Amino acid sequence: MKNSAITFIALTAVSLSLLTACGNASGEKQDVLAQEMAEKRVNDSLKLDSFKRAEAAKAALAEQEAAKSYSKKESNIIPTTNTSTVIHASPEAAEEQQKKGWSDAAKGTAIGAGVGAIGGALIDKDKPVRGAAIGAAIGGGSGYAIGRKSDRESGRVETKK
């Protein structure tokens, strides 16, 4: 139906231009203006038609997306386009955000175990695996103690009373 409307408009424009061209042999300005207005109407109607088709396609795509997002039965919340978020900061929330990442105790344990394993393997040349295990245990314990003390001083871990 849309194609037939476009074809009808195009044929109308062509016939108007032919009629004005035949009658324009005398050079009347009114015929030239009429032809220009007819061409402008055709162009405007074609533009309007293409805009309507584009809007209809966008609306159909939006409906498909909405149908996909609401097809889940467990979805009871309707999404909105409002992207503003209100965050109420409390001391507990700030403390939880600060606790992200490795603690000093964990870092100390990892570093101490690694250094102790390497040192133990180098010291016990007859049985390097046994030396690495002993060194990792001693280094890990020492690193944990040092890191835990640093955590207490920074306030990440509360001291026992």
Name the nearest CA neighbour of 147 among 113, 98, 108. Answer: 108
pLDDT in the model for residue 14: 54
pLDDT at 128 over 60: yes
Kindly report the pTM of this predicted structure.
0.40
- Same-domain check for residues 107 and 66: no
Number of domains in the chain: 2
Task: Give tens-digit pLDDT for 51-100.
Answer: 778 788 888 888 887 777 655 544 455 555 555 555 555 555 555 556 67
Q: Is residue 41 part of a domain?
A: yes
* H/E run at residue 53: helix 29-70
Structural domain contains residue 98 = no
- Pick the range with the lowest mean pLDDT from 36-45, 48-57, 85-94, 124-133: 85-94
Amino acid at 104: D
Residue 62 lies in a domain: yes
User: Which residues span the domain enclosing 36?
Assistant: 2-70
Q: Is residue 18 part of a domain?
A: yes
pLDDT at residue number 84: 53
